[in-house]
C-alpha cells in the first residue's frame, strides 16, 4: 500500500498557498514553527516506513494481524494455521489514521515541542521583592551602626564663660611723714608706686646709685671680678682731707698703694665717698661734663623720668628727684647683680680706709637688702634721705618692698619713717580671698539637654594691692561622660603681687547622647545640623 505524501486535508503545507495565507494570521514565527514541525513529521514517517520494511516476516505478520486496520480476515478456526499474507510495505499503517490528521490550527494544538531555545530567558515569578528588601535592610543596618558609633567631635558641649567678680584691694593704712616726700612700692605691683606727693627734692648721695650703675656698665664688671686697679699717692691722701673740710663724705686712700674697681665701688656705696666717685669719673670719662652727657642719656634709656642730675656725687642741690622716681631707680639698681651684692654688705675693709660700715641704718633689719643713704644741707634746710629695699615672706610668696624717704628733718627721723612705711606696706599685702569656693566660672549645655556648671573647688587667696582687682583666667577641658565633682581644669587668679591656681569641678554630670538621640540627629553628628 502506497503512502500519500500529500498533506492531509485541512493541513497547511510549507510550500502551499494555503499555508502562506494562514501565516500572517499567526505571525511569521508561528508559521515557520508549524511548517518545520510538519516537515519533521513526514521525515519521521518515512524513516519509520523504511525501518518497517526491514523487519522479519514474523514481525510483520504479527503487526499486520487482526489488530491492524488493513489486515486480512483471520482464519475461521484458530486451530488451522492462517494462510500467509503477502508482505506489503508499511502494512501495519492504517491509511485512515494517517490520512485524517487534525488540522494545525494553533501552536497550542501541536503535538510537537519546538526545539529552538527561547529568545528570552524565562523569568522566575514571585521572587522580585527579595533583592530590594535585602538592600533596604542593609542600608538601615548600616545607618543604625553608623549613628550608634559615629564620633562625637561635632556635638561637644557648649561652654559659656561667666564673669567672675573679684574684690578691689583695700587701701593700705599708710601714715605719711609730715615733712618732705615719701613713696612705697612692691616689686611688680600692678598698682604702681604710691606716694605722699610728687615733689622733686634734692636726693644728695642717692645720686651715686646712678653713677655706680654707669661705671659697672662701662667697665663690664661682673660678679667675682675685681676690675682694674687705681694707684694713689700722698697727694690723693691730702685731697681726702680737703673733702672733709668741705663737709663732704670721703674715705682715706692707700698712699703708694692701689684699690681695685670693686673696692672703689664698695667705698662709694657703703661709705658714700665723694673722693672715690670723683676719681672714677675722672679716670673713665675724663671730665664731669662728659659724664653728665652720658648720664642724661642713661636716664632716658632706662626710662627714669623725674630725675635730674648735675654731678656724679650728688653734692649739688640741683640733683633732684621725686620719691616715686627713686623707687624706680632702686628697682633698676637691684637688677644689677654686682651692685646688689655690694649694697647688701654690712661692712668692708679697704686699704687706706680700714673698716667701712654700711651707712644704711636699716641694713641690720631682717630682710633688708640695701640701698643708699643721702644727706645735704642746702639753703638752711637739712635733707636726710633713705632709699631702702626689704624682702618679706607672706604666706608662701616672697615680695620685695621699697621705700623712699626724702627731706626728713634729721637722721633719726628718716630711719623711723622708713621702718614705719615698710611695716605699713607689709601689713597691707596680707593674703585675702579673691574667689570663694563654689564660684561659678562657666556654664555647660549639650544639644540633648544636659546641663552643668563649672565651679571653683576651693577658695583662691592672693596678695592684694590697693585699688586693684585680681584678674582671673579659667582653663578647662570638659569631655562627654564627665561626672559631678570631676575636676576639669584650673582657675588662675593673679593678685597684686602673686598668683594662685585652684581646681575647677562640675556640679552635674555631662552624659553623652542617648542611642535614640544619635539615631534621630544624624545631621548634628555630621556637623551639618
The answer, yes or no, to whether residue 92 has pLDDT greater than 80, is no
pLDDT-derived band of residue 468, with 50, 70 and 90 as boundaries?
confident
Q: Secondary structure of 72-134 in the HEC alphabet?
A: CCCCCCCCCCCCCCCCCCCCCCCHHHHHCCCCCCCHHHCCCCCCCCCCCCCCCCCCCCHHHHH
Q: Is 518 exposed, middle or buried (0-12, 13-18, 19+ CB in 10 A)?
A: buried
Q: CA Rg, the chain, in Å?
A: 62
Q: What is the DSSP string of 38-67?
A: HHHHHHHHHHHHHHHHTS-HHHHHHHTSTT
**Does the model's pTM come out above 0.85?**
no
Banded model confidence at residue 491, pLDDT cuts 50, 70, 90: very high
Q: Do 319 and 329 meet the contact criterion of CB atoms below 8 Å apart?
A: no
Q: Tell me what the mean pLDDT of segment 508-529 comes to.
A: 83
For residue 111, how many other CB atoms are within 10 A of its CB? 9
| More confident position, 468 or 28 | 468
Positive or negative, the Cα torsion across 266, 272, 276, 278?
Answer: positive
DSSP conformational letter for 154: G
- pLDDT per position as a tens digit, 414-452: 999 999 999 998 888 888 899 999 999 999 998 888 899
Rounded Cα distance between 175 and 419, Å, is 12
Task: Name the residue with cell 604666706.
Answer: 395
Q: By percentage, how much of the chain surpasses pLDDT 70?
A: 78
CB contact at 8 A, 82 and 64: no
β pairing state of 381-394 and 397-408:
antiparallel
DSSP helix/strand/coil, 393: strand
Per-residue confidence (pLDDT) for residue 326, from 0 to 100: 97
Question: Which residues contact residue 394 at a Cβ distance below 8 angstroms, ignoring those fewer than 6 apart?
Answer: 426, 429, 430, 431, 463, 497
Instruction: Give SS3 for 471.
Output: strand
Residues in the chain: 529
Bridge-based pairing state of the strands 347-350 and 397-408: unpaired
Of 318, 317, 296, 305, the closest CA to residue 198 belongs to: 305
The model's pLDDT over 111-154, given as tens digits with 9 standing for 90+, comes to 555 555 556 566 555 567 888 888 888 888 888 888 777 887 77
H-assigned helices in 118-182: 130-149
Q: How confident is the model at residue 27 (pLDDT cuts 50, 70, 90)?
A: low
Task: Provide the edge-to-edge strand list for the sheet that holds 487-494.
Answer: 158-161, 440-445, 451-456, 499-506, 487-494, 471-476
User: Is pLDDT larger for residue 17 or for residue 285?
Assistant: 285
Greater pLDDT, 496 or 310: 310
Q: What percent of the chain has pLDDT over 90?
A: 53
pLDDT band at 245 (very low <50, low <70, confident <90, very high): very high
**Could you say which DSSP state residue 184 is in?**
E
**What does the pLDDT read at residue 90?**
53
Query: Which of 42-51, 54-63, 465-474 is predicted most confidently?
Result: 465-474
Residue 87 reports pLDDT greater than 80: no
pLDDT of 409 above 70? yes
Q: How far is CA 197 from CA 323, 325, 405, 406, in A?
A: 8, 11, 11, 11
Nearest to 504 by CA among 161, 152, 154, 155: 161
Contact 172, 465 (CB under 8 A): no
Q: Which single residue is written with the C-alpha cell 621725686?
A: 322
Amino acid at each position: 500500500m502506497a503512502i500519500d505524501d500529500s498533506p492531509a486535508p485541512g493541513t497547511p503545507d510549507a510550500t502551499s498557498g494555503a499555508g502562506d495565507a494562514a501565516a500572517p494570521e499567526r505571525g511569521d514565527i508561528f508559521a515557520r514553527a508549524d511548517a518545520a514541525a510538519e516537515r519533521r513529521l513526514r521525515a519521521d514517517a518515512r524513516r519509520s516506513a523504511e525501518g518497517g520494511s526491514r523487519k522479519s516476516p514474523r514481525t510483520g505478520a504479527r503487526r499486520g494481524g487482526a489488530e491492524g486496520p488493513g489486515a486480512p480476515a483471520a482464519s475461521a478456526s484458530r486451530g488451522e494455521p492462517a494462510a500467509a499474507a503477502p508482505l506489503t510495505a508499511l502494512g501495519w499503517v492504517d491509511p485512515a489514521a494517517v490520512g485524517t490528521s487534525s488540522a494545525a490550527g494553533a501552536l497550542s494544538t501541536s503535538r510537537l515541542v519546538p526545539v529552538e531555545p527561547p529568545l528570552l530567558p524565562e523569568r522566575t515569578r514571585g521572587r522580585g521583592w527579595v533583592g530590594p528588601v535585602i538592600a533596604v535592610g542593609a542600608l538601615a543596618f548600616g545607618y543604625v551602626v553608623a549613628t550608634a558609633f559615629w564620633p562625637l567631635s561635632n556635638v561637644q558641649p557648649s561652654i559659656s564663660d561667666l564673669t567672675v567678680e573679684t574684690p578691689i584691694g583695700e587701701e593700705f593704712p599708710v601714715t605719711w611723714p609730715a615733712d618732705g616726700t615719701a613713696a612705697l612700692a612692691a616689686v611688680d605691683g600692678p598698682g604702681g608706686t604710691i606716694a605722699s606727693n610728687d615733689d622733686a627734692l634734692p636726693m644728695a648721695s642717692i645720686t651715686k646709685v646712678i653713677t655706680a650703675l654707669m661705671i659697672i656698665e662701662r667697665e663690664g664688671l661682673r660678679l667675682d671680678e675685681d676690675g682694674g686697679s687705681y694707684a694713689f699717692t700722698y697727694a690723693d691722701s691730702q685731697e681726702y682731707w680737703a673733702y672733709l673740710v668741705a663737709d663732704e663724705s670721703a674715705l682715706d686712700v692707700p698712699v703708694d698703694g692701689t684699690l681695685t674697681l670693686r673696692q672703689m665701688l664698695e667705698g662709694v656705696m657703703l661709705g658714700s665717698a665723694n673722693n672715690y666717685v670723683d676719681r672714677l669719673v675722672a679716670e673713665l670719662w675724663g671730665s664731669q661734663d662728659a659724664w653728665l652727657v652720658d648720664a642724661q642719656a642713661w636716664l632716658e634709656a632706662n626710662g627714669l623720668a623725674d630725675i635730674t642730675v648735675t654731678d656724679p656725687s650728688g653734692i649739688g642741690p640741683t640733683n633732684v628727684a621725686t620719691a616715686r622716681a627713686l623707687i624706680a631707680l632702686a628697682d633698676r639698681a637691684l637688677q644689677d647683680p654686682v651692685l646688689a651684692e655690694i649694697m647688701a654688705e654690712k661692712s668692708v675693709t679697704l686699704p687706706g680706709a680700714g673698716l667701712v660700715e654700711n651707712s644704711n641704718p636699716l641694713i641690720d633689719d631682717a630682710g633688708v637688702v640695701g640701698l643708699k643713704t643721702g644727706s645735704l644741707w642746702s639753703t638752711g634746710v637739712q635733707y636726710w634721705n633713705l632709699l631702702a629695699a626689704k624682702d618679706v615672706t607672706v604666706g608662701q610668696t616672697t615680695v620685695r618692698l621699697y621705700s623712699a624717704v626724702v627731706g626728713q628733718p634729721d637722721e633719726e627721723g628718716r630711719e623711723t619713717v622708713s621702718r614705719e612705711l615698710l611695716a605699713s606696706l607689709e601689713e597691707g599685702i596680707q593674703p585675702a580671698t579673691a574667689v570663694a569656693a563654689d564660684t561659678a566660672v562657666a556654664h555647660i549645655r549639650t544639644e540633648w539637654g544636659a546641663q552643668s556648671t563649672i565651679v571653683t573647688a576651693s577658695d583662691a587667696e592672693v596678695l592684694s594691692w590697693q585699688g586693684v582687682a585680681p584678674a582671673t583666667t579659667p582653663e578647662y577641658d570638659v569631655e562627654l561622660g564627665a561626672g559631678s565633682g570631676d575636676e576639669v581644669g584650673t582657675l588662675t587668679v593673679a593678685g597684686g603681687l602673686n598668683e594662685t591656681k585652684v581646681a575647677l569641678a562640675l556640679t552635674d554630670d555631662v552624659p553623652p547622647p542617648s542611642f535614640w538621640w544619635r539615631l534621630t540627629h544624624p545631621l548634628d553628628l555630621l556637623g551639618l545640623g
